[in-house]
Amino acid sequence: MEVDDGSEARVEEKGKRLVVLLVGAPGSGKSTFCDAVVGASRRPWVRICQDTIGNGKAGTKAQCVKSALSVLKDGKSVFIDRCNLDREQRAEFLKLGSAQIDVHAVMLDLPTQLCISRSVKRTGHEGNLQGGKAAAVVNRMLQKKELPKLSEGFSRITFCHNDAEVQAALGAYSGLGPSDGLPPGCFGQKSQDAKVQVGIMKFLKKAEGPSPVVSKVNSNQSVASIGSSEKKDSSLEREQMPILPNAPQKEESKGKEDAVQAIDNDVCTLAFPSISTADFQFNLEKASDIIVETVEEFVPKLGNARLVLVDLTYESKILSLVRAKAAKKSIDSSKFFTFAGNIIELSTKGGLNCNVIANAANWRLKPGGGGVNAAIFKAAGADLEKATNERVKSLLPGSAVVVPLPSTSPLYNREGITHVIHVLGPNMNPQRPNCLNNDYNKGCMVLRQAYTSLFEGFLSLLKLQEKSVTKRHEEFLHHSGHGPDKNVANGDLKNKRDDAVVSISSKKSRGSGDEVETHITRPRTGNSDSGTQTTNSGMTKAWGSWAQALYHIAMNPERHKDDILEILEDVVVLNDAYPKAQKHILILAQARGLDCLADVHEVHLELLRRMHAIGLKWVEKFLHEDSQLVFRLGYHSAPSMRQLHLHVISQDFNSVHLKNKKHWNSFNTAFFRDSVDVIEEVNKNGKAMIKDDESLLSMELRCHRCRSAHPNIPRLKSHIQNCQVPFPAFLLQSDRLVRAPDSN
């Protein structure tokens, strides 16, 4: 089939008018296409939209036909802006064609999830199709879709499957002059008829058995939820995609044994579903990006363990997207792959042994609802609910909690699952609690937190296992005087029952403002060197592996030379990995036992003064480069990274990493303790006065200069770029702010 890129020579058809039917689902960009052409073309166009045909309100198809006739009589060309998804809806408009009038179709055949995302997020839509109801409408309309054909009476059809093809078509129509035309024919249609192709695939499957490839459902197909076992059929076009290694197909029993043999079942494995994409209706494209990016970050930390994304069928859209994106990033397929099967029957029916499974939980951590949550609680029995309730009662979006599965649980005995990690993602479903109302900026952040929390939970189990094996190995050598016991050395998670449960939130590997504390749900024993700390309330805080990065840099700076700006006798200087301003560095103490300000006493006074002086030296360097900058030096009251560190941060707060209220308030409320105040308090009282009040992080957003309130970070950033009000008086005192000598 011929392809038109809009660059062909125009065909002279003097006096010929055009009727162009836009064909596509809500959210495919029909109105945007029309408006762009009308605004750019030298040809007189009129857009006719059924959503506004009745004096600004929705009208009928008959009104659109009548209006089109009137416009054509005036010598103008017409865009018909309505969905026009089946032959019947297009028939009346095709009757407008004549010797002087050509009827074209522009088929905006974009991915279903893209259309849904656009429809859900838009506001002020002419037809009021927006918000939560849009997804169901788009899916329902696409079930009736019939691709336009020349045999219907069109002189030209242009198919657009992506943004590049849309832009090419837009350019072709925008470039038309009053007497220009476009070549007739069908442009951009995929080469094979979809129904024929699907029929051939079904025939081959029956005749030849399992194929070396699996089909990926075209994005126009409605997405099946994780909780549904119904296998959806489709006559839509499919494309071939290779299976990742170690990801066997769903086969009949005859071929199943061979597939299972390819899987190494002696490896600690976390099987997890796609979080928030089913019941919570999170956009699949965005979700798949986040899954792959987070997996890519954690794969190097897994050692011999692995991660497996699970859904009921390989025709799952999320599996297809993740497989393709993981392959592009060349992620080690022995460490991460996708698998089709029921997450509660992976061993007995899928041949895949998993020690740990993730549950896409609700915030109450209760059975019920549908999908994965209901299935796991039912399969695990009352033991799981009891074990969960003993440790935590609820879960915040973006968080995860690791729960040991009692050995009395059917899921433990039948499937060999030792731990369940409950994880809660963001909600885009208005029928569920805590809906984000299509705020995908926040939604993506929370979903990334959720996967990070999940994988950190799994890593914590691996570390406990490693410590357990090492301890038992040492005890064996001590008591027996012989070589290591292979059975002990090869012990797995089934031999280690962890009674301490960690509630984990999102963390980054190094930085300051993108992390949240990790808390143990009940007191533990420990000390600073072991990565735990007793708080003023008597609870024990554990620094997760993510939060140990600064500690490791401080203890072994020579191993991290690429990340370090300066190494001194007792201090290390480095850039914050997620800077919240143009200039943002950390002055890191090298002393052991100094996790945070709560550990500081009078004996550390000289170290605090030295850290402050080094910070001032770097400020002087930065001011020499840009004298307009203003700096503040200070500590977080309750830092999220282990090892005492002083922030040296410019007050422009111009950074893509400053994304939310927590980031802003961690530097612009009492949560941020000025270095000069800390030094004075330690000198006077022998310790810093710490008020560990995390409610400060959720305070309203206020400008750090004029203290005006703002509803969100973008509005606040826009304001502070222009705010020239002097800084508050308390910041102008005691050298809390540092600026060039000649600055006001």
> Do 179 and 205 sit in the same domain of this protein?
no
Q: Which residue has the tokens 């993730």?
A: 358
210 shares its domain with 156: no
Task: Tell me: do 202 and 91 sit in the same domain.
Answer: no
pLDDT score recorded for residue 142? 83
Q: How far apart are CA 444 and CA 442, in angstroms?
A: 6
How much is the pLDDT for 164?
81
Residue type, 581: A
Pairing of strands 540-542, 564-567: unpaired
> Residue 6: left (phi > 0), alpha (psi -120 to 50), or beta?
left
Q: β-strand 356-360 against 269-272: which pairing, if any?
A: parallel
Two tokens, residue 124 = 């002020």
Residue 440 shares a structural domain with residue 586? no
Residue closest to 344 by CA, chosen among 391, 368, 376? 376
In a domain, 472, yes or no: no
Same domain, 49 and 131: yes
156-160 and 101-108 as β-strands: parallel, antiparallel, unpaired? parallel
pLDDT of residue 316: 85
Dihedrals phi, psi of 647, to nearest 5 degrees: -90, 130
- Domain termination residue (choose one: 458, 475, 498): 458
Residue 496 lies in a domain: no
Please check whether residues 141 and 27 belong to one and the same domain.
Answer: yes
Residues 270 and 147 in one domain: no
Alpha-carbon span 165 to 108, nearest angstrom: 9
CATH number at residue 732: 3.30.428.10
Ranges of the chain with pLDDT below 50: 1-14, 191-265, 472-473, 476-477, 479-530, 534-540
pLDDT score of 504? 43
**What are the structure tokens assigned to 495, written together?**
């031999």
- CA 274, 449, 281: angle at the middle one, nearest 5? 40
Q: And the tokens for 463?
A: 């570390």
In a domain, 529, yes or no: no
**Domain annotation covers residue 474:** no
Distance, in Å, from the CA atom of 600 to the CA atom of 562, rounded to the nearest integer, reads 29
- pLDDT value, residue 55: 82
pLDDT at 422: 95
Is 104 annotated as catalytic?
A: no
The residue from 406, 425, 458 where one domain ends is 458
Domain shared by 332 and 281, yes or no: yes
The residue with tokens 């050509």 is 102
User: For residues 209 and 207, what is the distance between their CA atoms, to the nearest angstrom?
Assistant: 6
Give the active site residue among 419, 636, 645, 647: 645
Residue 305, in any domain of the structure? yes
Percent of the chain with pLDDT over 90: 40
Q: Determine the Cα–Cα distance for residues 399 and 105; give it in Å rounded to an integer.
A: 48
Q: Give the closest residue to 359 by CA, choosing from 339, 379, 383, 332.
A: 379
Please name every residue paired with 357 in a beta bridge, in sequence order, or none if there are none.
271, 420
d(CA 569, CA 40): 66
Q: Give the domain range for residue 206.
A: 196-458
Give the per-residue pLDDT at 522.
28
Asked if residue 205 and residue 170 are part of one domain, the reply reads no
With beta carbons less than 8 A apart as the criterion, state whether 428 and 280 touch.
yes
In a domain, 345, yes or no: yes
According to the model, what pLDDT value does residue 471 have?
54
> Token digits for 270?
């976390």
Of the chain, the end-to-end C-alpha distance in Å amounts to: 69
Classify residue 532: in a domain, yes or no.
no
Do 217 and 183 fall into the same domain?
A: no
Position 83 in a domain: yes
User: By the 8 A CB rule, do 242 and 345 touch?
Assistant: no
Give the pLDDT score at 530.
43
Contacts of residue 703, defined as CB under 8 A and 6 or more positions apart, other chains included, come to 710, 716, 719, 720, 723, 725
Instruction: Point out the domain boundary residue: 187, 220, 245.
Output: 187
The pLDDT of residue 174 is 86
Report residue 721: phi and psi, to 5°.
-65, -25
Number of folded domains that form the chain: 3
Q: 502: which strand partners?
A: 520
CA 536/CA 533 separation, integer angstroms: 10
Q: What is the pLDDT at residue 531?
A: 53
The tokens describing 241, both together, are 């995609």
Q: How far is Cα 635 from Cα 598, in angstroms, rounded to an integer?
A: 11
Domain shared by 183 and 202, yes or no: no
How many residues appear in the chain?
Answer: 744
* Cα–Cα distance measured from residue 517 to residue 310, given in angstroms and rounded to the nearest whole number: 29
Which pTM was predicted? 0.37
CATH number for the domain spanning 24: value is 3.40.50.300
Tokens of 496: 């280690």
For residues 221 and 97, membership in a common domain is answered with no
